[in-house]
Amino acid sequence: MKDKFYRFMQGRYGTDSFNKFLLGAAIVVILISMFWRRDWLTLLAFLLLAYSYFRMFSRNISRRAAENQIFLNKTAGVRRWFQKEKYMAEQRKVYHIYKCPSCGQKIRIPKGKGKIEICCPKCQGTFIKRS
Ligand SMILES: [Zn+2]
């Protein structure tokens, strides 16, 4: 069975970021349509699913790869924003982010060090904070 599937998928495109996005979008639309019943929502979910399956089983690999590249280019800004937010959330768990009162430079201080004097690396000014 597994072997059969493998042979079936040979020479076919498979999945990529764009397909994951299409499947995710289809699931979201299906969830919405459970609470807010509209024919066009069901149709949209079906189209998203059909399109992602079509891409997965497609033999036109270069065309699908080009579509994925367009998708990645168009969403680069959004993805970078999410990555930055995720990074900042992780940083906030371990560090306090202070702003230098004289020049506005952001300074990252480890949490749980008590009252400390912070020296700004940009303007060399010092200020006292609890970390
Ligand atoms: Zn400063």
Taking the centre of ligand 1 as the mean of its atom positions, its distance from the CA of residue 101, in whole angstroms, is 7
Taking the centre of ligand 1 as the mean of its atom positions, its distance from the CA of residue 123, in whole angstroms, is 4
Q: Using 50, 70 and 90 to split pLDDT, how confident is the model at 82?
A: very high
Judge contact between 115 and 125, C-beta under 8 A: no
Residues that place a CB less than 5 A from ion ligand 1: 100, 102-103, 105, 120, 122-123, 125
Q: Using 50, 70 and 90 to split pLDDT, how confident is the model at 5?
A: confident
Mind listing the pLDDT tens digit for each residue in 22-62?
A: 999 999 999 999 999 999 999 999 999 999 999 999 999 99
Taking the centre of ligand 1 as the mean of its atom positions, its distance from the CA of residue 104, in whole angstroms, is 6
* Residue 93: per-residue pLDDT: 92
Taking the centre of ligand 1 as the mean of its atom positions, its distance from the CA of residue 114, in whole angstroms, is 21
The SS3 of residue 115 is: strand
How many other C-beta atoms lie within 10 A of the C-beta of residue 55?
A: 21
Tell me: pLDDT of 89 over 80.
Answer: yes
Mean pLDDT of the chain: 94
